[in-house]
Amino acid sequence: MPLIEVQNLCKEYPGKKVLRDVNLRIQNGEIFAVIGPNGAGKTTLLRLLALLDEPSSGIISFDGVRVDYSAKSRLALRRRMGMVFQQTVLFNVSVFDNVAYGLEIRGENRRSIEKRVKETLELVRLAGFEHKNALSLSGGEAQRVALAQALVVEPELLLLDEPTANLDPRSVSIIEEVLSWVNRERKVTLVMTTHNMPQAESLADRVAFLLDGKIEGIGTAQEVFGAPSKQLMDFARLENVFSGDSIILEEGTSIVDIGNGMQIEAAVRKSGRATVFVRPEDIILSEKPIVSSARNMFKGRVVGISDMGPLVKLRVDAGKEFVVQITKRSFNDMRLNVGSEAFLNFKASSVQVV
C-alpha cells in the first residue's frame, strides 16, 4: 500500500486551473521528486500534500485512508510530516529556540528537547550555532535551520519545496547529504520539488514531470530523462540537441545526418525526421583518437570552458558545438585550454532519439 495516493486531483483559483487530474502513488520510504518550470503547479501540489490547502476536487489518501479535512484529522496527519519551504521563515530568536519550537508545542520535556535539538543541529552541520540569532544567518545556514526544524520532530514524511534553490554550494551539498541519510537510515519518505535535474537524478527513486498542472511523465529519472518529450527538452534546456534526417542501417541502428557533414549513430530504429540528444557526461573527451566500442567519434576544438568546482564543462566545436562534462582532475591532466584540439567519443546507446 502506498504512503500517499492522489486521485484525479484538481486545484482551481478564480480564472485559473493550477492542477488538472493529477494521479500519483508515492511509496513508503522512497524519494519522489517533482520537476517542472515556474508556474507548473509544483508548490500547489506540495501544499495540498501538506494539507495546508484543500483541493477543488479529487482525493488524497494517507496509508489508504482518505483525508477528510476536519481540523482533528488534519492535525493528526500533519504531526506525521514536516515541510521545508523555498522561502525560509524563521523566528527572531536563537537557532536553538527555532528548532525546539515544534517539540515544545508537542509537550516534550526539556531534557528530550535539548538532546534532540543538539543531535539535529549536528546532523545539518550547525553545531555551535545554538545561541546565534536565526535572522543573522546566511541563506544557506537559515535553510539548514529550517531543515532541522522539520527533522527534529522525526517525521514519517518530509515535503520540500526547492530546498536548495539559490544556496551556496556547501549548503547544497550538506542538504543533499542529510536528505539521503534520513531517507536511508530513518526511512523517511521524501517528496521534493526541484528545477535541478541532476539533483533529481542523483537523489530521487522516481520523478514526475509537471507541466501546466498536468503530469507529463513519471518513472525513474533514467526513464523520464532518457526518453524526453519536446516539453521536457524545452524546460530543461537540454544540451547537445540536434535535428536531422534519419535512416535505418542493416545492423538495426540509425544514422542521423545533423548537417555540416556530421552523422550521429543511434541504437534505435528511426527513419525520417528525428531529434537526438547526448548528455554531456556521456561523452568521453580525449587528446588523441582512441580505440573503443563507441560508434561516434568527432574531432573538434575547445571553444569555451566553465569551472563548476569538481567538474568542468567544455564547449567543443566539431562542426556542431557539443557540451562535454569531465572531472576537474581529467581537465588538469589533459591540460586543456581554449583552442585545444580534442576528440569526442560516445556510444550509439548514449544517443537519445525523440
**Do 342 and 321 touch, CB atoms closer than 8 A?**
no
Question: Could you give the residue ranges of the DSSP H alpha helices within the chain?
Answer: 42-49, 71-78, 95-105, 110-123, 139-151, 169-186, 197-203, 221-226, 230-236, 328-334
Q: Which residue has the cell 528525428?
A: 274
Are 273 and 163 in the same domain? no
- The whole-number pLDDT of residue 237 equals 61
Distance CA 17, CA 26 (A): 23
In 3D space, the residue among 9, 84, 24 whose CA is nearest the CA of residue 218 turns out to be 24
- The whole-number pLDDT of residue 347 equals 92
- Point out the domain boundary residue: 235, 257, 289: 235
- The whole-number pLDDT of residue 238 equals 67
Domain span including residue 312 = 239-353
- The whole-number pLDDT of residue 307 equals 86
Are 339 and 218 in the same domain? no
Are 170 and 288 in the same domain? no
- The whole-number pLDDT of residue 106 equals 92
- Point out the domain boundary residue: 235, 251, 273: 235
Are 207 and 252 in the same domain? no
Are 227 and 298 in the same domain? no
- The whole-number pLDDT of residue 224 equals 84
- pLDDT tens by residue, 243-255: 889 999 988 899 9
Are 93 and 133 in the same domain? yes
pTM of the predicted structure, to 2 decimals: 0.71
Are 60 and 12 in the same domain? yes
In 3D space, the residue among 46, 284, 27 whose CA is nearest the CA of residue 19 turns out to be 46
213 alpha carbon, distance to own chain's centre:
18
Residue 263: CATH number of its domain? 2.40.50.100
Distance CA 193, CA 172 (A): 14
- The whole-number pLDDT of residue 236 equals 63
Distance CA 112, CA 293 (A): 60
Are 208 and 245 in the same domain? no
pLDDT under 50: residue ranges of the chain: none
Distance CA 239, CA 251 (A): 28
Are 153 and 300 in the same domain? no
Are 252 and 214 in the same domain? no
Distance CA 318, CA 178 (A): 41
Are 172 and 257 in the same domain? no
**Do 34 and 191 touch, CB atoms closer than 8 A?**
yes
- Point out the domain boundary residue: 176, 205, 235: 235
- How many structural domains comprise the chain? 2
Residue 22: CATH number of its domain? 3.40.50.300
**Do 16 and 24 touch, CB atoms closer than 8 A?**
no
Residue type, 294: A
Helices 110-123 and 139-151, axial angle in degrees (round to 10): 130
Contacts of residue 230, defined as CB under 8 A and 6 or more positions apart, other chains included, come to: 275, 354
**DSSP assignments along 126-193, one per residue:** -TT-TTSBGGGS-HHHHHHHHHHHHHTT--SEEEEESTTTT--HHHHHHHHHHHHHHHHHH--EEEEE
Buried b (16+ CB within 10 A) or exposed e, 91-121: eeeebbbbbbbbbeeeebeeeebeebbeebb
Are 160 and 218 in the same domain? yes
Cell numbers of 310, please? Answer: 569538481
